[in-house]
Amino acid sequence: MGEAVVFVLVAAAWFVFRKRIAAYQVFLITEKFKILPGRDKAEQLRGMELLGTLFGALLFVAGVLLIVLHTMLG
């Protein structure tokens, strides 16, 4: 049950700070590690934000599912 609550809390924090997290990820990828060229940072930022939103949604759904299964199965 504890990991389910952690999943939901991490997902909530990810949703709140997703723009900052995405901006930092794009900075790391383009400037620090020089993995991707820094052509269109706005497009890369939107992509990372969408990826973060999907990741947060997955964590949230997994956490809620674990909570529901734990309460139903005892």
pLDDT, residue 34, reads 75
Task: With respect to residue 11, please indicate whether it lies within any of the assigned structural domains.
Answer: yes
Segment 10-63, tens digit of pLDDT: 999 999 999 999 999 888 888 887 776 767 778 888 988 999 999 999 999 999
- Among 52, 74, 63, smallest CA distance to 7 is for 63
Angle, helix 41-73 to helix 2-16, in steps of 10 degrees: 150
Residue 27, token pair as written in the block: 């900075």
pLDDT, residue 41, reads 79
Please state, in angstroms and rounded to a whole number, the distance separating the CA atoms of residues 49 and 57: 12
Task: With respect to residue 74, please indicate whether it lies within any of the assigned structural domains.
Answer: no
Number of domains in the chain: 1
Please state, in angstroms and rounded to a whole number, the distance separating the CA atoms of residues 66 and 69: 5
Which domain covers residue 24, as residue numbers?
2-69
